[in-house]
Amino acid sequence: MSEKDKEAIAAFRRDVVDPSQSSLVLVDFWAEWCGPCKQLSPIIEKIAAEYADRGVLLVKINVDENGFIASQFRVQSIPTVYAIFKGQPVADLTSARTEGQYRQMLDKILAQLPIESEASKAAQDLAPLIAVAEEALGAGDTEQALGLFGQLGEVAPDNPQVIGGYLRALAALGQTEEAEAMLASLPPEIASDPAIERGRAAIALARSATPGVDTGPLEARVAANPDDYDALFDLSAARMANGDRDGASDALLAIIAGDRAWEEGKARNQLLQLFEVVGLEDPWVSSQRRRLSAILFG
């Protein structure tokens, strides 16, 4: 082995292997004469900068100057891009050519690996504070929850859980226009997050309900005619607006039990939306899902 190869190995260990013990290192094999490499360079550099706080590093290796390293990775064409973690290739990103493709592949990789990053540390610090805000929202202290989520938003403006909680608090207060405006302003990569979807469901429910509704007349209509599904559906919305999720679920389940296809499954869709708002991991949702399953499959 030549001195040049030994130096290349030492540099690779310093620049790639050692950092990859806690970070995800993107290794871009390129050359000055490679046209596609020059086209890819600004894209991959932008993505690496964007994902830096999530523990992603970029190392560019010129194959003309580091032929030994390129041969160890069996690089046959360029550009070739590998993701390295703990000294081992974990993904071949060569097929990616656009920012969207890189984001999709990196999001999938990062979700599966214990990467140490500023973002992960920040998320750990935020978790107990988010839990306090969620507890306030779940207990019906909506104004306090809105304030807490708002304060967290100043610290972590791009955190989906914080944004989703703020949207749900706005929806619970009937401030649907403000919530919808905020939702519309979110970038696509955040807007598709499950926490945001939960906020979107809360807004949709809030649109169909008016807080403080007197349920008496609707209760009377249902008592006189249990098959009055329109009244049952409106009663469910009124109960939910008044914070009675048990009663809301009871009314929707009564419709499903009587006619699951009513209005093209409108009651079931509303119930699933209610589950989304409360939270799919919530024990209450689990119990209501069992009730729904008993009706559908019993």
Catalytic residues: 34, 37
**Polymer length of the chain:** 298
Compute the distance between CA of residue 231 and CA of residue 228 in angstroms, rounded to an integer: 5
Angle between helices 194-207 and 229-241 (to 10 degrees): 120
Neighbour count for residue 90 (Cβ, 10 Å): 15
